[in-house]
Amino acid sequence: MFDPVDKLKEFVRHPSVSTDPKYRDGMQGAQEFVSGLLRSLGFAVEVVKTGLHPIILAQREGDPSWPHVIIYGHYDVQPPDPLDLWKTPPFEPTERGGRLWGRGAADNKGPLMTHIAAVGRLLERNPRLPVRITFLIEGEEETGSPSFLPFLEKYQHRLKADFVFLSDTGIPREDQIVVTCGLRGLVLCEVEVTGARTDLHSGLHGGVLRNPIQALAELCASLHTPDGRVNIAGYYDDVLEVAPWEREELRKLGTEEEAYREFLGIPAFYVPPGYTPFEAVRFLPTLEFNGVGGGYQGEGSKTVIPSKALVKISCRLVPDQKPGKIRPLLYKAIRERMPGDVTCRIIDQHEGTPYIVVPPDRSNTPASQPPRLARAFRAVDRAVIDVFGRPPLYLREGGSVPIIADIKRVLGLDSVLLGLFLPEDNLHAPNESFNLRVMQKGMAVSEKVLAALAGG
């Protein structure tokens, strides 16, 4: 068997940034690395071409009566910028303080390697293990997985499985595993406001036209109520009521608001009434401004009326909100509130549907769960107790993995999301790292789960 940490280092060394064409070689390198590793474990590997970055479909077939697990992961990572804030270069993985540092170490290369290594160990011990395994590893997750849905539709006959198993979500502390049973969805867009056809001298022309930055700022300011709710008619209509067991589970988490506030470095929380901060990130939708631009941003001053201003917006959605319903509501609000003396263009970006799965022993109607999914949840529960000494918590999560809802819709499969990354792992930020103790324990959990499914 290979050394999982060495292999993770090799994986992180490939700069696989999916959004930026200048990393094309890194994307290909990471793809070939994973494909080769899975081949070496005896998997039949197919590299499925897409418009952009291929999807790795690796299968270990077997008797059709055996359980079939799909393990999902992504080999792409976020851009490493800003580079000057990294203590060691993002694509030169280094081990320090029980962690592996590098871009993608936690999101998602470390957690993915955890499952690959678990499978490797298990098959080494029992080459005839009666379980079918399919790895589905994509390279476009960080760009909204544009190729994944068409892939699912085309390959669904090969993806008839019992459930999906993955680790692309978080845990609060090293000793407390969370099985994520809900994810937020997304609707993204960009709004571009144009005033005059060109930048203008603010003395020669100031006073006769509306500045596009003003129009845009007024629009942005209108999109929330003073108490922090999204100020768009109908926005909350489909928000699922929080089940009592979910609030209870969240209380068991035992996290301190004050510690969280300090972790964020903010003077005070800004949370809609009726929710704690920990509830708000899981149970409520948001509307965020991710970036804003326009006019002169250089040194010193410039007396100009800019021609354009723009803002990037992302809405996080919760079950049962639908991107197809929220997007028109958002666009309608923008268009209605934009004054007629400027021109406004809305540019569509990607979206994702929110997801929720109720673990079998929390559900009021246990019979509604397919038996093999219920078995998987129980296997995870037991494995986590064995390895971590306490059961996992079952919680929704604020982040998004949009393909999970697509898998549910197209393949009819639920996902068991074993959280593995910690708040201090710095996902999407400089100095990302993955805790190697969590990795070792995660491997043990994954191994036990797969062995339990196989009846071992």
The binding site for Mn ion (CB under 5 A) comprises 107-108, 168
Which is nearer to Mn ion, 107 or 406 (by Cβ)? Answer: 107
108 or 286: whose CB is closer to Mn ion? Answer: 108
In angstroms, how far is CA 430 from the centroid of its own chain?
A: 17
- Report the partner that residue 120 touches, choosing among Mn ion, ligand BES, none (CB closer than 5 to 8 A by kind): none
Q: Which helix (H) or strand (E) holds 9?
A: helix 4-13
Looking at the Cβ atoms of 335 and 428, the one nearer to ligand BES is 428
Residue 381 interacts with which of Mn ion, ligand BES, none, CB < 5 to 8 Å by class: none
24-40 helix and 110-125 helix, angle to the nearest 10 degrees? 20
- Amino acid at residue number 136: L
How far apart are the C-alpha atoms of 40 and 291, rounded to whole Å? Answer: 44
Q: What is the number of helices (H) and of strands (E) in the chain? A: 12, 18
In one letter, which amino acid is 445? Answer: V
**Interstrand relation of 433-435 and 99-101 (parallel, antiparallel or unpaired):** antiparallel
Of 75, 105, 73, nearest to 88 by C-alpha is 105
Cβ nearer to ligand BES, comparing 186 with 305: 186
**Minimal distance in Å, beta carbon 402 to ligand BES?**
5
Among ligand BES, Mn ion, none, what binds residue 397 when CB lies within 5 to 8 Å by partner kind? ligand BES
For 25, other C-beta atoms within 10 Å of its C-beta total 11
Nearer to Mn ion, 168 or 447 (CB): 168
- Least Å from the CB of residue 169 to Mn ion: 8
C-beta closer to ligand BES: residue 178 or 230: 178
406 binds, among ligand BES, Mn ion, none (CB under 5 to 8 A by kind): none
- DSSP for 129-156, written as a single string: -S-EEEEEEES-GGGT-TTHHHHHHHHG
Given the complex with ligand BES, which of 30 and 186 has the nearer CB atom? Answer: 186
Give residue number: closest CB to ligand BES: 399
Partner in contact with 272, chosen from ligand BES, Mn ion, none, beta carbon below 5 to 8 Å by kind:
none
With CB under 5 to 8 Å by kind, the binding choice for 134 among Mn ion, ligand BES, none is none
Residue 253 contacts by C-beta under 8 Å, 6 or more apart in sequence?
172, 176, 278, 393, 395
Q: Which amino acid, residue 88?
A: T
Task: Read off φ and ψ for residue 289, nearest 5 degrees.
Answer: -95, 120
Q: How far is the CB of 141 from Mn ion (least distance, A)?
A: 6
Query: CA–CA separation, 226 vs 221, rounded Å?
Result: 10
Q: Which amino acid would we find at residue 375?
A: R
Min dist CB 186 to ligand BES, Å, is 6
Cβ at position 183, least distance to Mn ion in Å: 11
What's the min distance (Å) between Cβ of 111 and ligand BES?
9
Q: Smallest gap, in angstroms, from Cβ of residue 58 to ligand BES?
A: 20
Q: How far is the CB of 380 from ligand BES (least distance, A)?
A: 17
Which partner from the list ligand BES, Mn ion, none does 392 bind, CB cut-off 5 to 8 Å by kind? none
**Which does residue 342 touch among Mn ion, ligand BES, none (CB within 5 to 8 A, set by kind)?**
none
- Enumerate binding residues for ligand BES (CB under 6 A): 107-108, 141-142, 144, 168-170, 186, 352, 397, 399-402, 427
Contact, 215 vs 381, CB < 8 A?
Answer: no
User: What is the chain's alpha carbon radius of gyration, rounded to the nearest angstrom?
Assistant: 24
Distance CA 352, CA 323 (A): 7
Return the number of the residue (69 or 427) whose C-beta is nearest ligand BES: 427
